[in-house]
A and B are shown apart, each in its own frame.
Chain A
Amino acid sequence: MKTDIEPTSSAAGSPPKVRTRSTGRAGDKIFLGLSRGSGIALLVIMAAIAAFLTYRAAIAISKDEANFLTYFEWNTGSSPMRFGIAVLAYGTVVSSIIAMVIAVPVAVGIALFISHYAPRRLATPVAYVIDLLAAVPSIVYGLWGALFLVPHLTGLYTWFDDYLGWTGILSYQGGAARSLFTVGILLAIMILPIVTSVSREVFRQVPKMHEEAALALGATRWEVIRMSVLPFGRSGIISASMLGLGRALGETMAVATVLSPNFLIETSLLDPGGGTFAQNIASRFKEAGNDGRDALIASGLVLFVITLLVNGAARMIIARRKEYSGTAA
């Protein structure tokens, strides 16, 4: 498609001359074919992945002596194999929830700061730096977490234990802080940029009329944000969070480097233990035999399903507001 717009030196108001070489019907047809092909190709690829996962998982689960969903061990080296995903499902969900609880409020705050509070000169560099966080490889986050974050969290966890230890979930017995909570903190940092940048874009879209109307009624800046920006941006924040959650659920290398996995569900979130799907696959894949690999793929399938459910739930929430549903005409 070639369109040249010739710069005109004519007086403002006269339309620039646009010269288009018509491609006729052929261009339409080709483009339709290409875009339809892309759409179908994606569906086919997803179906192929799902089929592969299901096939290999079925082999593994049929050989599993234990209950795949509730068993607390992962033993694929023995015959017969006994393995179950209870601990992995728990660890994956819990660490991701912790990450969301920490990251989403902070990300929304940063996004509001950039879109409504910061002076223009400051907003751009801040936005840029936040986006840079997304460019750091996950293994680097993992190493930073293991070598810097973990030793520095001991003090915080001891404090938690002193004042909140009675809750049970925040008790801490000392030891290296390589726990699900630590993983949650690390994941929060990792999903911050994506949640921030999407929310920021949404807040920029708030109709100026709304804001000005609120101001005209005598609202303070906080009230403007509360009355017009946040309600307008709600579904945008949700979809941003879901993108972040998707990342948190599937994060592999950083978790494998920081967590001290074991196959127990600890009541305390601060004590080392637990595991996540992706971490478990990364840790065991290298030495696994054929059956062991199938078992890991079966656990991957469960993660696939969990991610699907999460995305489906997010879609339903967003669909209530047509603006961002993507199905809106």
Chain B
Amino acid sequence: MKLQRKNRLRAITAGALAVSGVLVLTACGSDDNSDSGGGGSKAASNIKCDGKGQLLASGSSAQKNAMDLWIKTYGEACKDTKLNYKATGSGAGIQEFLQGKTAFAGSDSALKPEEVKSSEKICKGGKAIDLPMVGGPIAVGFNVPGVDKLTLNADVLGKIFNSEIKKWDDPAIKALNKDAKLPSLKIQAFHRSDESGTTDNFTKYLKAAAPKAWPHEPGKAWEGEGGQSADGSSGVSSQVKQVSGAISYFELSYATANSIKTVDLDTGASAPVQATVDNASKAISEAKVKGTGSDLALDLAYDTKADGAYPITLVTYEIACDKGNKASTLAATKSFLTYVASEDGQTSLKELGYAPLPTEIANKVRESVKSLS
């Protein structure tokens, strides 16, 4: 009896261990890249420090590397401000901002009308606005043995990711790549299994540039037919690296870090466009501002045919109140965002694989930041 009692205790202990193991929330870092810019952060002399104390922000993981670099540079110049950006994901970032926990949020997509409505509670006498701050190309990486250069267009991409084109030697792909030796290999298209702003922007591009080949609604969750999936940009990029015949989409920095070859896009311009930082900037400069007043939500020109403009881009926003920011954090927020939008702040992004904002948009952002109150 006593023995059995002891045994039960063991079983219960083991059970308790198992249960607590299940209960422990696992951390989920998906969108951080191992190569966090070791870039020489030259002490930017023109940072105007203002405000004191702790500045909290959270949101999009797509801009995490940019934020890390900015915070490092800004922190070296301004010792009085402690900045902390948590890459929780856009959804969570907006939630925290609307609950008044953070000074500003980072998001992969502009605020929805209902989110703007509920921001009026936090922004006394104002509302939340979108400030585009970080742009970047979304590369389409592929792994086809014996093929180094691959040109595709929106229509073919849509069909590949919708499981209509199943083999690498499909006539549609051959027509765009006359010189390439395309093997008769099964195409394995990978998409993101988690919800992500990258998927959102990629599907927006497919929908805008090839509505016939991509009949699905764009969104953070994947809606295409079939295909395989993996968790996070690091997940899909490592699959492309591993699986012969794979193709997927992720921020350019992941392609560079894993030396994955990227697709050139035939946009209808005079020559196929490579996925590069400069080409992405060029496409972003074609965007139209759809926000009103100091809100600068962008309508990206996904179907641009301009020479050297790479249309699959992602723009992440900082979200703050136009009026009625908390008095305790306003000064520091303004000072930090002023630096981030400045020439220095933007050009330092290039080494991380992000695209600096085009001049015209950057100027508008600087105006908006100035008017924060």
B359 to chain A, nearest CB (A): 31
- Docked complex Cα distance between A324 and B6 (Å): 11
B194, A286: Cβ atoms closer than 8 Å:
yes
Given contacts A138-B26, A146-B238, contact A287 B194 (CB under 8 A): yes
A78, B22: Cβ atoms closer than 8 Å:
no
Q: Does B127 contact A (CB under 8 A)?
A: no
B22, A247: Cβ atoms closer than 8 Å:
yes
Which of chain B's residues have a CB closer than 8 A to the CB of A282? 26, 28, 194
Among B229-237, B260-268, B305-313, B321-329, the stretch that binds chain A is B229-237
Which of chain A's residues have a CB closer than 8 A to the CB of B235? 146, 257
- Docked complex Cα distance between A252 and B15 (Å): 17
B195, A272: Cβ atoms closer than 8 Å:
no
Residue from the list B8, B21, B194 in contact with A284, Cβ < 8 A: B194
Given contacts A205-B3, A260-B230, A262-B229, contact A286 B195 (CB under 8 A): yes
Given contacts A287-B89, A324-B4, contact A256 B221 (CB under 8 A): no
B28, A194: Cβ atoms closer than 8 Å:
no
Residue from the list A78, A240, A250, A256 in contact with B193, Cβ < 8 A: A256
Which of chain B's residues have a CB closer than 8 A to the CB of A279? 193
B89 to chain A, nearest CB (A): 3
Residue from the list A146, A243, A253, A288 in contact with B15, Cβ < 8 A: A243
Digitize B1-38: 1 where CB-to-A-CB distance is under 8 Å, 0 elsewhere: 00110011011001101110110001010100000000
Among B90-98, B204-212, B345-353, B365-373, the stretch that binds chain A is B90-98
Chain B residues 71-103 with CB under 8 Å of chain A are 88-92, 94-95
Chain B residues 184-230 with CB under 8 Å of chain A are 186, 188, 190, 193-197, 217, 219-221, 223, 226-230
A77, B228: Cβ atoms closer than 8 Å:
no
B186, A175: Cβ atoms closer than 8 Å:
yes
User: How many A residues face the partner with a CB closer than 8 A?
Assistant: 54
Among A23-31, A93-101, A105-113, A195-203, the stretch that binds chain B is A195-203
Chain A residues 140-185 with CB under 8 Å of chain B are 146-147, 151, 174-176, 178
Given contacts A250-B22, A284-B221, A287-B91, contact A202 B231 (CB under 8 A): no
CB-defined A-B contacts under 8 Å, sample of 24:
A75-B221, A77-B220, A77-B221, A151-B242, A175-B186, A175-B188, A175-B243, A176-B188, A176-B239, A176-B243, A176-B246, A178-B230, A201-B7, A252-B26, A256-B193, A260-B228, A284-B195, A284-B221, A285-B89, A287-B90, A287-B92, A288-B195, A290-B95, A324-B8
A-B pairs, top 4 by smallest CB distance, nearest first, are A286-B89, A287-B195, A250-B22, A283-B194
Given A176-B228, A282-B26, 12 extra CB contacts under 8 A: A78-B219, A175-B228, A175-B243, A178-B230, A239-B11, A252-B22, A256-B231, A260-B230, A283-B195, A283-B231, A286-B195, A287-B195
Binding site for B on A (CB under 8 A): 74-78, 134, 138-139, 146-147, 151, 174-176, 178, 194, 197-198, 201-202, 205, 236, 239-240, 243-244, 246-247, 250-253, 256-257, 259-262, 264, 272, 279, 282-290, 292, 323-324, 326
